[in-house]
Amino acid sequence: MLFRSVERLEKDRDAEGGIYSADSRIDRAIDANISRVKALFADWGDIVERRFTVRRTGLDVYAEDSVGSADETSASVGAIYVVYIDGLCDNGLIEDTIIKPVTWEWRHEHGGSLWEAMDSFETQSADIKAENDFKNVMFSILKGDTAVFVSDADQAFVVSSKKLPVRGVEESSTEGGMRGPRDSFNESIRTSTALIRRRIKDTRLKLIQNTIGVRSRTEYGIMYIEDIAEKRLVEQVKERMNEYEIDAIFDSGMAEHLMEKKWYRPFPVFQSTTRPDKAAAALADGRVVIVFDNSPEVLIAPATINTLFQTADDYYNRWPVATFARIIRYIAAFIAVGLPGFYIAVTCYHREVIPDKLLYAIAVARNQLSFPIVLEVLIMELLFELLREAGIRLPSQLGNTIGVVGGLIVGQAAVEAGIVSTIVVIVVALTAIASFAIPNEAFASVFRLLKFLTILAAAFFGLYGFLLVMLLLIYHLAGLNSFGVPYMAPVVTCGYAEDGMEDFVLRKPIKKFVFRPAWANHRERRRLRKK
């Protein structure tokens, strides 16, 4: 099973051994600590271990013990044991922060213990701390830090030396736009949080950082503006993040599914984005942003249909242009989910609603076909979904080609072979294009699945089945909520007095955005006033 109770997980981890079953205390005998580290990192080809012996002789002799056993005399200060993972650390920083001070500075210190001498000197590291818990030291090594054990000390130094392999800040490949910034999040959590703080320079922008995943220990951060975000919303997000314990989390999508209250609901309750400006705007509206390490997408809560249809360009363009674009997206959503089913319903059951000339054209196009209309539509819809999936898996240059050329060639060949009609090709092509007009990919994927439900309902019951599916869909959406916020807000209020219509289908000018959305802290609702 994927999820287990906390008590059982603790017992399983203790039985498995490793870090979890190790004693949390750091031994004063450095040889004991070295043995424990070597046992934990056995068969690790990329672990780097170096032991130094520092002596206080008349010549201040320095020696490095290569075999791990020090020939320490009464004139020696003690031993230092440095351990880190190659490839996760900045080797230059380790050399300047640890190795050089050991060889040149610390050995010149007179009086006191080696730990006191090391602790008293200022190092070139911006982040160095003492840690007395052995497990925490090991986890720090796994994250890319460097651990320094000192003889006759029940503590260890942890030096922040991370230098993880990450992509640079690039333009978003999934959320492009004509205006606005071009940067996007990458797989580094620190880069992602920095891109947000670059836009919101406020001390009230909080970051609660923690880890999830027993084995992956994936870092995540919950970001919110303290005086704007509702405390109840922040607490709900924290509770859901800590509700389950799982082996590993490798992407924000896994955490999103983990935090859902009802897994069988198809619509996402989080908004995902790769654009820092979009995340910053959500924070300014009183929403919560969850940033994950190893994931270029952040999660935004709460999410509504209205926010899922919005893009960053809506606020950078003139309000009439943004309004027109939103109208197009809502129409595209209806086309994506309902056009194939509507075509089947009117051509099979309700031909009287079709104009005579159009009905004659459909009849001529289907004159030489042997398959029923339902089968035609299903064949072409599955074909386009196959081409879309193949285009994603292929290299980018070849993927774009197969999506366009493959659709044209296969569609034309199917028409000439008498498998499908030209009208069906047009309907399916319009449906595919409309699904791409929906900004959020997770949201658009739901419409891609629901269109098959409308096809089957229309095939059996005609327009009655089509309208029944539409009504059930609206009923389902009206009953959904995201962290207590109605999914169809501002159309559905459910106790929220504010309408929020200034940023709905009709996007009013920025001067009209006087108040924040209803989910923001009501004491800080006003965001615009004239000086």
450, 381 contact by CB (below 8 A): no
Q: In sequence order, what are the residues at sequence separation of 6 or more whose Cβ sits closer than 8 angstroms to the Cβ of residue 264?
A: none
Please list, in sequence order, all residues whose beta carbon lies within 8 angstroms of the beta carbon of residue 307, skipping any fewer than 6 positions away: 271, 282, 300
Query: What does 117-154 look like in DSSP terms, one character per residue?
Result: HHHHSPPS-S-EEEE-BHHHHHHHHHHT-EEEEETT-S
Low-confidence ranges of the chain (pLDDT < 50): 1-9, 11-17, 58-74, 124
Measure the CA angle with vertex 345, ends 372 and 487; round to 5°: 125
Cα gap 518→375, rounded to integer Å: 47
* Local structure of 55: helix, strand or coil: strand
Closest C-alpha to 169, from 142, 212, 198, 127: 198
Q: What pLDDT does 121 receive?
A: 60
Main-chain phi, psi angles of 443, to 5 degrees = -70, -40
Are 513 and 502 in contact by the 8 Å Cβ rule? The answer is yes
Q: Which pair of structure tokens corresponds to residue 480?
A: 């959904």
Which pLDDT score is estimated for 54? Answer: 72
Q: Are strands 298-301 and 481-482 parallel, antiparallel or unpaired?
A: unpaired
> Which region holds residue 509: left if phi is over 0, alpha if psi is between -120 and 50, else beta?
beta
- Phi first, then psi: give them for residue 277, nearest 5 degrees: -65, -35
CA distances for 359 relative to 364, 421, 462, angstroms: 9, 13, 17
- Cα gap 435→452, rounded to integer Å: 14
Phi then psi dihedrals of residue 218, to 5 deg = -70, 125
Q: Is 508 helix (H, G, I), strand (E, B) or coil?
A: coil
Q: What is the pTM of this model?
A: 0.84
Return the pLDDT at 73: 44
Cβ count within 10 A of residue 458: 30
pLDDT for residue 299 = 96
Compute the Cα dihedral for 205, 208, 212, 216 and give only its sign. positive
* Every domain of the chain and the residues it spans: 6-159, 189-303, 316-485
pLDDT at 15: 41
Each residue's pLDDT tens digit, 213-252: 988 889 999 999 999 999 999 999 999 999 988 999 999 9
Q: What is the tens place of the pLDDT at every residue in 8-20?
A: 445 444 444 456 5
